[in-house]
Amino acid sequence: MALDVIGIPVWNDNYAWLLHDPETGVCAVVDAPEAPPILDALDAQGWTLSLLLNTHHHPDHIGANLDLKRLTGCTIVGPRADAARIPGIDVQVGEGDTIAVGVSQATVWDTPAHTRGHITYVFDGMAFVGDTLFVAGCGRLFEGTGDQMWTAMQRYAALPGDTRLYCAHEYTLSNLRFARSLEPQNPALIAAECAAQDARAAGRFTVPTTVEQERRINPFMRAGSAEMQSVVGMMDAPGGTVLTEVRRRKDHFRG
């Protein structure tokens, strides 16, 4: 039986994700910027929090760790490579480890680049990617390299096309504007931008995305393509090198 997934808007543009196993009643939250919206959502659903799954150490992902642990008794799971920066961590995980949410199981992938210890939780049919991948984008390279980010993009791209990717921010419209500046005639990008504009105008999330959509629209996942190599003038360059240049341009984009 599939997990129920509910998105909780937090702060200006963050999402926390509630996961609920209807068979066992086990409930988890992926990342926790602040406690009140998460507690309100739990109360509205009648769910009890068992697990808090952190993807990385940034304050807009771990800010409510200690409050939620104190108020709910939840077990905090986080990256082994960054355990010292995860408040209240109980279970340290890394590449190849598994975490059960009721009868569903996630495999942990190490996906450093945005931070040195960033991890992804990969379930059957969905993955919680934190700040590694966004709709049509990727996280800034604060503590890692373009080569590391390219490795993560390739791993995501190899998942089945209908895999849902749950990221932690609503950055879609700005990411699509940048992607269109690189590939203005890409029909998938044009369609994605129209759909995202309609969704936001109606107050809907643009997340999750899918692997198949990101293969078509995400300039960072497309860094190995001839089209993206041509855009940045790096024909036949390694994907990590192209991604680094695309990320440099995104960091300075003001469109």
Segment 53-81, tens digit of pLDDT: 999 999 999 999 999 999 999 999 999 99
Note if 13 is an active site residue. Answer: no
Could you tell me if 48 and 121 lie in one domain? no
User: The whole model's pTM is what?
Assistant: 0.97
* Sheet with 4-10: strands ordered across: 4-10, 14-20, 27-30, 49-53, 75-79, 91-93
Backbone angles phi, psi at 176, to 5 degrees: -70, -35
* Paired residues of 4 in beta bridges: 20
- Residues 137, 184, single domain; the answer is yes
The answer to whether residues 121 and 19 belong to one domain is no
60 included as an active-site residue:
yes
Say whether 118 is catalytic: no
Quick one: 82 and 6 in the same domain?
A: yes
For residues 3-19, average pLDDT? 96
Instruction: Tokens for 244, please give them.
Output: 């680094």
Q: Which two tokens stand for residue 132?
A: 């590694």
Whether the per-residue pLDDT at 1 is higher than 90: the answer is no
Tokens for 151, please give them.
């490795």
Q: Is residue 75 located within the same domain as residue 174?
A: no
CA distance 242 to 46: 47
**Do 141 and 105 fall within a single domain?**
no
Rg from Cα positions in the chain: 18
Compute the distance between CA of residue 7 and CA of residue 14 in angstroms, rounded to an integer: 10
Q: Are residues 100 and 58 in the same domain?
A: yes
Per-residue pLDDT averaged across 98-119, rounded?
98
> Which residue, 247, 225, 245, 244, is CA-closest to 236?
225
The single residue of 20, 31, 56, 118 carrying the catalytic annotation is 56
Domain boundary among 110, 145, 168: 110
If pLDDT is split at 50, 70 and 90, which confidence band does 197 have? very high
Q: Where among 89, 110, 131 does a domain terminate?
A: 110
- State the Cα torsion 223-227-233-239 to the nearest 10°: 20
Looking at the structure, do residues 241 and 135 belong to the same domain, yes or no?
yes
pLDDT, tens digit, for every residue of 235-251?
Answer: 999 999 999 999 999 99
Q: Select which of 21, 31, 60, 110 is catalytic.
A: 60
137 with 59, same domain: the answer is no
DSSP state letter for 82: G
Catalytic residue among 21, 61, 82, 118: 61
Helices (H), 73-143: none
What is the CATH number for 79? 3.60.15.10
- For residues 21 and 146, membership in a common domain is answered with no
pLDDT at 3: 97
Q: Is 56 considered catalytic here?
A: yes
Residue 139 belongs to domain spanning? 111-255
Same domain, 32 and 103: yes
Q: Where a domain ends, among 95, 110, 125? A: 110
Structure-model confidence comparison of residues 101 and 254, the more confident one: 101
Q: Dig out the tokens for 74 from the structure.
A: 């939840």
Confidence of residue 232 (pLDDT cuts 50, 70, 90): very high
pLDDT band at 133; cut points 50, 70, 90: very high
